[in-house]
Amino acid sequence: MADELKTRILEILKTMEAPDGKQDVVSRGIVSDIFIADGKAFFSLTVPADQAQLFEPFCRRIEQQVATLDGVTKAMVALTAEKTAGSSAPRQSAPRPSAPPQGQGPAAPQGRRQGPGKAGVPGIEKIIAVASGKGGVGKSTTAVNLALGLSALGLKVGILDADIYGPSIPKLLALRDKPSSAGGRTIIPLEAYGLKAMSMGLLVDEETPMIWRGPMVMSALTQMLREVEWGELDILVVDMPPGTGDAQLTMAQQVPLAGAVIVSTPQDLALIDARKGLAMFRKVDVPVLGIVENMSYFVAPDTGKRYDIFGHGGAKSEAERLGVPFLGEVPIEMAIRESSDSGRPVVAVEPDGPHAKSYRDIAAQVLAELDSAGAKTEAPRIVFE
């Protein structure tokens, strides 16, 4: 059955006109092996890096066409590219502090001096960003499970959905109520699974398109950050918008971020975008706490065999090359997707499962990196010349 489906998928690909006007992708030999499990089809196309934007919509059309086949419930098509020569030399990576010992709760992270023009938020000890260079890499799912992982370590945690145009946190946490107002001056955040949460998706109807320009977006983000009664939090996790545009840069410049976590997938094109996000945070002096490799591998439920569908180890190698910590890898797993879609994050509903452990281990590494970043902050010195 699987072989028959692969043949039918290839037949579909042969009939689809490539966006660059050249012959079909099958004849050109740029289609990877097709893997089918539990009705899901996974494969990738290898294209030049400078044609990624051209082929992205084409991949979505392929997914729609393949999903119409009997026996296929969903298709996932990724873009990948050969690495180009001439990469910069790797930076030396600093030793990573170890995670807190098992059974020993972590101390709340120490306060960190804020940069010029970055006023702290009363009651919030640390603010960290979860970011990605592009959409579709599982950033929001990672942000929610990271926040829950930090909460499981004994910290008071909140989560702010900073994606005005495509808020995901309400769905991921099954939040449907509207926030209330305290005297018409501040907003009371909603709570789910022990997290305090705020999102533009809680304030407007799900079908309402957001067509705001940059200044309006920043005004809304400022209100959700500074005019919300967060109370006393050890850490506020900010689910950043994907990409490295004006909104992301302004957010990184104006919000007192203690650090940033970059989420990527293994394929080279996603890593190229992740590299841009990392460079943006470094440019505005925000410590990069590390890189998470999402959709790292797939374990077939029937055989237990591991498949590196989109390649493997790319994010880890990139972290080593750039001199930042590698925080861990999360597999492609239907349980994570299904629990996320139903508003039941895997760390909350299956805390003893292997996937929850992956996120908790990442949370422990993030906490260790936060403590390390705070310890490295030096007091200002007055120099007479």
Q: DSSP labels for 83-141?
A: PPS-PPPPPPPPPPPPPPPTT-PPPPPPP-PPPTT-PPPTTEEEEEEEE-SSSSSSHHH
Per-residue pLDDT of the chain (385 residues; tens, 9 = 90+): 678 889 999 999 999 999 999 999 999 988 887 877 667 787 778 888 778 778 888 988 998 999 999 888 888 787 665 443 333 333 333 333 344 444 444 554 444 444 444 667 889 999 999 988 767 778 899 999 999 999 999 999 999 998 877 788 999 999 988 888 776 678 899 999 999 999 988 877 666 656 565 666 777 777 888 889 999 999 999 998 877 666 677 777 778 899 999 988 776 555 666 777 788 888 888 899 999 988 766 766 667 677 666 666 667 777 888 888 989 888 777 778 777 888 899 899 888 888 889 999 999 999 999 987 665 544 333 333 3
What's the pLDDT at 110?
A: 46
Quote the pLDDT of residue 43: 79
Residues of CATH 3.40.50.300 domain(s) within the chain? 124-376
pTM: 0.67
Two tokens at 137?
A: 């890499």
CATH 3.30.300.130 residue ranges for the chain: 2-80
Which residues make Cβ contacts (< 8 Å) with residue 91, sequence separation at least 6? 321, 322, 323
| Cα–Cα dist 179/154, whole Å | 26
**124-131 and 259-264 as β-strands: parallel, antiparallel, unpaired?**
parallel
CB 37 within 8 A of CB 302: yes
| Residue 261 to residue 291: CA distance in whole angstroms | 6
Does domain 2-80 correspond to CATH entry 3.40.930.10? Answer: no
The answer to whether 6 touches 22, Cβ cutoff 8 Å, is no
Contact between residue 126 and residue 370 where contact means Cβ atoms under 8 Å apart = yes
The CATH architecture assigned to 124-376 reads 3-Layer(aba) Sandwich (3.40)
